[in-house]
Chain A
Amino acid sequence: MNDHHHATTYVPKSAFAKWFESRLPIAGLIHSSFVAFPVPRNLNYFWTFGGVLFVMLVLQIVTGVILAMHYTPEATKAFDSVEHIMRNVNYGWLLRYLHANGASMFFVAVYIHIFRNLYYGSYKAPREVLYILGVIIYLLMMATAFLGYTLPWGQMSFWGATVITNILAAIPVVGDAIQSLLWGGYSVGNPTLNRFFSLHYLLPFMIVGVVILHVWALHVPGNNNPAGIDIQSGRDAVPFHPYMTVKDGFSLVVFLIFFAWWVFYMPNYLGHADNYIPANPAVTPAHIVPEWYFLPFYAILRAIPDKLGGVIAMFGSIVVLALVPWLDTSKVRSAVYRPIYKQFFWIWVVVCVILGWLGAKPAEGGYVIAARIATAYYFAHFLVIMPLIGFFEKPKPLPRSIVDSVLGPGASRIPVGAAAAPQAKG
């Protein structure tokens, strides 16, 4: 598919560029990946979040590297060093609020990215590997966020670390070993904080690595699109630059306004007040609640009355995501042409939100029952509903081409050469 509309290929202009390109063809690689790369012309704004995520990743790494210059990963000093950053370091308050709220914004963007994927069937062949790499990035993000949350060594940091490491102890046979390796002692303590800091610094660079693979895997089949059909001619596509760069840029700036709102005006709103109390192993906060982006998984964990069962369900809820390309039996990608799947997709989104709400509620009474029902539905969506819909659903007719989906049927009959002409007049 790539072959028939590489509008331009990179031609080095200067003598130096020629000399360099023949030795390391990186400019050509960048050119074909981010300049000439053909993108379906019908992508909507939900397709701009990959770019937003990339910028957020860079921002988190940059602010994190500078915060690490001032942070002390030692149990008696960690909390003080964070307060030192907040009070004494030049712009320290800004960096820390950017980093802490940046994690939340990262998850906002990634959830939009994931929901977009599931709605438009972007996980389907030939993009299964691309999709699974995405699930891996998501897992790494969750690990990084959890590790990072323990670093200020406040009450929520400490007790969050305690609860999560106890979850891992439920794993049969190796659980205790894993737990003691994570703790580096007999409970969450200074060695735990040290290694969590080390890993928190390491994982983002592993994310960068998987992101490179993710982008590579994207550039083999190219983007899916709202119509869910492949590019068939040059008229279906636009080059990445300047069309997508400027569109991604616009989306990014709007996203940054949303981000800035939290950072500058409500920097502690997404966090927990308890984390401004230094860690105290003798007192547990009244409610141990994870950050909002973990709440649905926390609800699933608590819905199962058995410790191991809860852990299996929680990890299973992510593993099942990785299986989606094979659980979905439909031949049609986009929910736009799948009237029944579309309904169930939104029910599933609502169930995820309900799970998130339940994750923030105490695990008692009606909340537990509700969490069980929602958990059951979550899994049923993937394991039962998705495979069945593929067999019974009658999809709407697909447009013949992307141009047709944009301009109405018959557009593809316009001679190919007219693509560059302004469509408003054509």
Chain B
Amino acid sequence: MGKTMTRAALLALLAAGVGMSEPAFPAGETPVPPQLKWSWQGPFGTYDRAQLQRGFQVYREVCQACHGIQRVAFRNLAEPGGPEFTRGQVQALAAEYKIKDGPNDSGEMFERPARPADRFPWNFPNEQAAAAANGGKAPPDLSLMAKARTFERGFPWFVWDALRQYSENGADYLTALLVGYKDAPQGVTVPAGGFYNEYYPGHIIAMPPPLSDGQVTYAKGADGQPAVPETVAQYARDVTAFLAWTAEPHLEARKRLGFVVILFLIGLTALMYFTKKKVWADVGGEIEDRPGVKTV
């Protein structure tokens, strides 16, 4: 009986989770983004430093014109678990940005070069200015984008996803969006200032296609060729990886600690199990499971 209830309760528990990961957007007729392989997937996943550095380059040369990453500090770029630029690189990089500071002793605001402790400044002084410069819609900050977007997987996939630790839906969506610009199908009229995107909910997106092949020149390797192709697909994946890191900068530390914690708990489970056996042996062992005895 105890077993039946356990089994039924487990089933109920699984089923109770139906729809627990609701979409940030209605699924509608929007196709589900393809699931890609990411280096930080799974219990031992880590970011690919070179990919994060390339992704940052794409952000800087393409996205930065409109989108901020205002939750990220320059110093983060040198911290472990991220792109891991050197401190010197970060210092030099920060100095290229201007930060509004002040007021000084005469009460004036002034601009100074950024320091590693500063956050990335946005190209626009405020949301209204950004909206005015971009056809009425402010380009959203990208710091958390990889966690702020997802798509519905539905029953029963969400159960399977929980078991295999699939939590890269945000990244899959971002890449799909960046490569998802298409000519509008017949019968769909795209309003002025809009663009047709296969993966954007409702399909009409205000952001023009941001990437094109060869747009960003990656560093050349020893053979005079970049390590990865300079294509839209590659740019999209690289910048997505970078944004996955800006959204979850402590992912590597989290997974590392998680492994230790779970390993420890499994060991403790074994100790607890045998201790319990020993303690209960005095009153006749595991009462529910006594062989030959009909339990309730």
**Contact partners of A226 in chain B: CB under 8 A:** 1-2, 296
Q: Is B155 an interface residue (CB 8 A)?
A: yes
* B13 cross-chain contacts in A, Cβ below 8 A: 108, 111-112
Residues of chain B contacted by A44 (CB below 8 angstroms): 2, 288
A97: B residues at CB distance < 8 A: 254
In the complex, whether A318 has a CB less than 8 A from a CB of chain B is no
Complex Cα distance A287/B285, Å? Answer: 52
Number of chain A residues whose Cβ lies closer than 8 Å to a Cβ of chain B: 75
Contacts of A254 in B (CB 8 A): 269
B158's nearest neighbour on chain A, judged by CB, is: A269
Q: Which of B16-24, B98-106, B203-211 contacts A (4 or more CB under 8 A)?
A: B16-24
CB distance from A29 to the nearest CB of B (A): 24
Q: Are A286 and B261 closer than 8 Å at their CB atoms?
A: no
Q: Which residue of A lies closest to B247 (CB)?
A: A276
Chain A's closest residue to B19 (CB) is: A360
Query: What's the Cα separation between A393 and B110 when bound, in Å?
Result: 84
Q: Tell whether, in the assembled complex, residue B284 and residue A424 are in contact, meaning their CB atoms are under 8 Å apart.
A: yes
CB within 8 Å of A: which of B282-296? Answer: 282-285, 287-288, 290, 293-296
Q: Which of A372-405 contact B (CB under 8 A)?
A: 399, 405
Q: Report whether A42 and B268 are in contact in the complex, using a CB–CB cutoff of 8 Å.
A: no
For residue B16, which residues in chain A have a CB less than 8 angstroms away from its CB?
111, 292, 352-353, 356
Task: Compute how far the CA of A361 lies from the CA of B22 in the bound complex, rounded to whole angstroms.
Answer: 9
Which residues of A are found within 8 Å of B8, using beta-carbon distances?
A: 346, 349
- For residue A257, give the distance in angstroms from its CB to the closest CB of chain B: 5
A8 at the interface (CB under 8 A from B): no
CB distance from B203 to the nearest CB of A (A): 15
Contacts of B284 in A (CB 8 A): 407, 422-424, 426
Contact A269/B21 with A226-B1, A253-B265 known, Cβ cut-off 8 Å: yes
Chain B residues with Cβ below 8 Å from A346 are 8
Query: When A238-B283, A268-B167, A277-B148 are in contact, do A87 and B71 touch as well, CB less than 8 Å?
Result: yes
What 1/0 mask marks residues of chain B from 249 to 281 whose CB sits below 8 Å from any chain A CB?
110011101110110011011001101100111
Inter-subunit contact B148/A276 (CB<8 Å): yes
A289: Cβ under 8 A from any B Cβ: yes
Known: A260-B265, A264-B262. A273 touches B149 (CB 8 A): yes
Q: Known: A83-B71, A264-B257, A295-B19. Contact between A253 and B269, CB under 8 A?
A: yes
A292 touches B17 (CB 8 A): yes
Q: Could you say which residues of chain A place their CB within 8 Å of the CB of B272?
A: 246, 249-250, 253
Judge whether B296 and A405 touch: CB under 8 Å. Answer: yes
Contact (Cβ within 8 A) B261 A83: no
Which of the listed residues B13, B247, B268, B284 has the most CB atoms from chain A within 10 Å of its own CB? B284
Partner of B287 from the list A257, A272, A406 (CB cut-off 8 Å) is: A406
B15 within 8 A of A: yes
Contact B269 A274, beta carbon cutoff 8 Å: no
A119: chain B residues at CB < 8 Å are: 5
Contacts of A285 in B (CB 8 A): 24
Query: Shortest CB–CB separation between residue B123 and chain A, in angstroms?
Result: 19
Given A46-B5, A261-B262, A408:B293 Cβ within 8 A: yes
Please, which residues of chain A bring their CB within 8 A of the CB of B255? 264-265
| A273:B148 contact, CB within 8 angstroms | yes
Q: Which residues of B contact A266 (CB under 8 A)?
A: 162, 165, 167
Contacts of A111 in B (CB 8 A): 13, 16
Interface residues of B in 141-167 (CB under 8 A from A): 143-144, 147-150, 155, 161-162, 165, 167
- Closest residue of A by beta carbon distance from B268: A253
Question: Does A324 count as interface, using CB distance less than 8 angstroms?
Answer: no
CA distance A406 to B287 in the complex (A): 7
Q: Is B26 an interface residue (CB 8 A)?
A: yes
What are some 7 contacts across the A-B interface (CB < 8 A)?
A249-B276, A250-B269, A260-B261, A269-B162, A277-B24, A292-B20, A352-B12
Give the 4 A-B residue pairs with the shortest CB-CB distance, closest first.
A264-B258, A423-B284, A360-B19, A276-B148
Measured CB to CB, the residues of B under 8 A from A are 1-2, 5-6, 8-9, 12-13, 15-26, 43, 71, 76, 140, 143-144, 147-150, 155, 161-162, 165, 167, 170, 201, 247, 249-250, 253-255, 257-259, 261-262, 265-266, 268-269, 272-273, 275-276, 279-285, 287-288, 290, 293-296
